[in-house]
Amino acid sequence: MNASSQTPSTAPTVLPLAEALASPFARTRDNGDAVQVLIDRTGLPAPTLVAQPDMVHVMLADIDDMAPWLAELGGRLVVDGAPGCQAWTLVTELERTRRRAAVAVQVHALTVSGQDVLPALRSAVAA
């Protein structure tokens, strides 16, 4: 057995600190933390928060809870329909700070056919 057959052919991978901190787990944690800080600071309704490496999803219990999110962050309101219901999604982001990159946020709520929706939300879809 020669010496070359006893040594591994590749060295273990060592990531630079910045790249290690940019792992999907770290981005997920950082994105979720950023949105949670906003919620704690403003009192925005957010019964369910789902952080992912590329964005944070906020699931609302009531369509009326979309109005404070729209007022706080602005963004684009999109409505998709299906028989009997509509999915309302606010596509927005937390602005970049010195400590972190911008965080994409989507806020979701469902309505059933015929349900009242605040005029401010309806006009935001048309805008």
With contact defined as beta carbons under 8 Å apart, do 38 and 94 qualify? yes
Q: Count of residues for the chain? A: 127
With contact defined as beta carbons under 8 Å apart, do 96 and 46 qualify? no
Dist. CA 88–CA 4, nearest whole Å: 62
The domain ranges of the chain are 15-126
pTM of the model: 0.80
> What pLDDT is recorded for position 19?
60
With contact defined as beta carbons under 8 Å apart, do 45 and 65 qualify? yes
One digit per residue, the tens of pLDDT, for the chain of length 127 reads 555 555 556 767 666 666 656 688 889 999 999 999 999 999 999 999 999 999 999 999 999 999 999 999 999 999 998 889 999 999 999 999 888 889 999 999 999 988 999 999 988 886 6
Residue 24 corresponds to which tokens in the numbers above? 């999907």
